[in-house]
Amino acid sequence: MKHIFTILAVVLVTTFASAQSAKQVKWTYVAQKVADKTYEIQITANLNSNWHIYSQNAGVEGPLPTAFTFTKNPLIVLDGKPAEVGKVIKKNEEVWGGVVNYYEKTVKFVQKVKIKGNIKTNLSGKVAFILCNDNTCLPPSEVDFSVNIGG
């Protein structure tokens, strides 16, 4: 019986944490053709008020850097890792013991991909992140995404 209550508590906390993050950030996903069989996948985070999201290179150990996991697709070749487009803020934060890199308001992550042939397919995966403000950090969150490309 104890195990059931523990599992139920974990599920409720995880659901609450995901709901809180969903209220503070809106993710959008767009594919833009930039050359023959080459696309830029733009994954944008639009943050509410005073929340921020850490760079893929957070700067120090401690804050969870934003990270992407792409589902393998034999029709797609990833070209490097996602580039970050936005105004990065570098700030010394005592709580983390050094200079951290983060974004406020908005940041765009751009992943270049090449597709094999004139086909329609999709790039899917997950983005893991943590949102913080001057007072607190929400629990780490993860969202799934899928973007249609090609054709």
> Which whole number is the average pLDDT over 116-125?
93
Alpha helices in 54-113 (DSSP H): none
Fold of the CATH domain 2-150: Immunoglobulin-like (2.60.40)
Q: Which two tokens stand for residue 99?
A: 């200079």
Whether residue 151 has pLDDT greater than 90? no
Q: What pLDDT does residue 22 have? A: 67
Domain locations in the chain?
Answer: 2-150
Q: Which among 144, 138, 148, 89 has a CA at the least distance from the CA of 113? A: 148
* Spatial contact of 142 and 127, defined as CB atoms under 8 Å apart: yes
C-alpha span between 150 and 77 (Å, rounded): 13
Report the distance separating Cα 53 and Cα 49, nearest Å: 12
Q: Which residue(s) pair with 112 in the sheet?
A: 40, 79
By CB atoms closer than 10 A (0-12, 13-18, 19+), residue 12 is: exposed
Q: What percent of the chain has pLDDT over 70?
A: 85
Q: Is the per-residue pLDDT at 17 higher than 60?
A: no
Residue 18 has pLDDT above 60, yes or no: no
pLDDT tens-place string over residues 40-83: 999 999 999 899 999 999 999 989 999 999 999 999 999 999 99
- Checking if the pLDDT of 8 tops 60, the result is no
| 134 alpha-carbon distance from chain centroid | 20
Whole-number mean pLDDT of the chain? 88
pTM value? 0.84
Q: What integer pLDDT is reported at residue 70 of this predicted model?
A: 98
Question: 100 exposed, middle or buried (CB, 10 Å; 0-12, 13-18, 19+)?
Answer: buried
140: burial class by Cβ within 10 Å (0-12, 13-18, 19+)? Answer: middle
